[in-house]
């Protein structure tokens, strides 16, 4: 999610440290020693409520049938918010500390892996990844601004959709004042930026909606929810 230092990232790096804090921080900020502090940040709880609600307003989740991947899941705030409304959810993140923390929460709650699990992976969009599983919905919240190429990452996420599946992305709109972060897209995105990435990945029925504002690094940012659908055939 928000924050992190991506210095040295390759052209379509999935690096992100998920720092919601006012101070930002480097890619190694969240470790097994301090990751418990992540969930104590007010913006994590705020987005953990608002984002799943906005996603549910945008897509008809079904607790008996809908399978979900939460990409760049962090400690699982969005996944936990969506879990009651889908059949199964797989969290994916490159931070081992966050994955371990999320996995411990899942285990402590006694949730079976067929309903919720989390894996540490840097997905490339290859058949062997995630045991070949494809999803009805792929969600990605507050991580797009970390990626060197949102076109590349959108194509990767589209790969993991079933035919007719839906990609839901939350991030912040282009602002006059860039965020004080060393990330490729610290100024946010225009609607055109996101539409170009979605259409370029072959997604259809594109829509984008500004659904809330949040305080990030002392600045008020507008958050969007973008939606695109993979062709059914």
CA distances from 225 to 37, 56, 96, 113, 161 (A): 27, 11, 27, 28, 18
Whether 160 shows a pLDDT value over 80: the answer reads yes
Query: What CATH code is carried by the domain that includes residue 119?
Result: 3.40.50.150
Residue 32 is predicted with a pLDDT of: 79
Q: Is residue 17 part of a domain?
A: no
Q: Is residue 89 part of a domain?
A: yes
* Digit-coded pLDDT (tens) for 41-81: 777 888 889 999 999 999 999 999 999 999 999 999 999 99
Q: Is residue 169 part of a domain?
A: yes
Q: Is residue 141 part of a domain?
A: yes
Cα 21 from Cα 25, distance rounded (Å): 8
Nearest CA to 159 out of 120, 131, 124, 193 is that of 124
pLDDT averaged over every residue in the chain: 86
Q: Is residue 214 part of a domain?
A: yes
Whether 18 shows a pLDDT value over 60: the answer reads no
* Digit-coded pLDDT (tens) for 33-49: 888 877 877 778 888 89
* Digit-coded pLDDT (tens) for 162-182: 999 999 999 999 987 887 778
Q: How wide is the angle at C-alpha 152 spanned by C-alphas 147 and 153, nearest 5°?
A: 55
Q: Is residue 2 part of a domain?
A: no
Between residues 11 and 105, which one has the greater pLDDT?
Answer: 105
pLDDT category at 232 given cuts 50, 70, 90 is very high
Q: Is residue 202 part of a domain?
A: yes
Domain count, the chain: 1
pTM recorded for the entire structure: 0.88
The beta strand positions in 133-173, using DSSP E, are 135-141, 161-172
Residue 127 buriedness (CB in 10 A; 0-12 / 13-18 / 19+): exposed
- Going by DSSP bridges, is the β-strand pair 204-216/219-229 parallel, antiparallel, or unpaired? antiparallel
Q: What domain range includes position 180? A: 35-229
Q: Is residue 24 part of a domain?
A: no
């Amino acid at each position: 999610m928000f924050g992190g230092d991506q210095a040295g990232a390759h052209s379509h790096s999935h690096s992100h440290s998920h720092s919601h804090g006012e101070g930002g921080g480097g890619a190694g900020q969240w470790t097994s020693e301090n990751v418990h502090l992540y969930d104590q940040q007010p913006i994590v709880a705020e987005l953990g409520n608002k984002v799943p609600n906005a996603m549910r307003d945008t897509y008809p989740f079904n607790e008996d049938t809908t399978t979900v991947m939460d990409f760049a899941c962090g400690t699982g705030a969005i996944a936990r918010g969506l879990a009651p409304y889908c059949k199964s959810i797989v969290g994916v993140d490159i931070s081992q500390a966050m994955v371990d923390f999320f996995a411990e929460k899942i285990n402590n709650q006694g949730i079976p892996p067929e309903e919720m699990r989390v894996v540490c992976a840097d997905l490339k969009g290859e058949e062997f990844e995630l045991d070949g599983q494809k999803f009805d919905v792929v969600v990605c919240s507050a991580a797009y601004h970390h990626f060197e190429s949102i076109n590349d990452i959108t194509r990767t996420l589209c790969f993991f959709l079933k035919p007719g599946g839906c990609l839901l992305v939350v991030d912040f709109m282009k602002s006059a004042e860039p965020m004080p972060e060393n990330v490729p897209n610290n100024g946010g995105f225009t609607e055109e930026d996101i539409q170009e990435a979605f259409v370029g990945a072959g997604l259809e029925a594109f829509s984008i909606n500004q659904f809330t504002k949040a305080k990030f690094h002392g600045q008020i940012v507008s958050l969007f929810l973008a939606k695109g659908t993979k062709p059914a055939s």
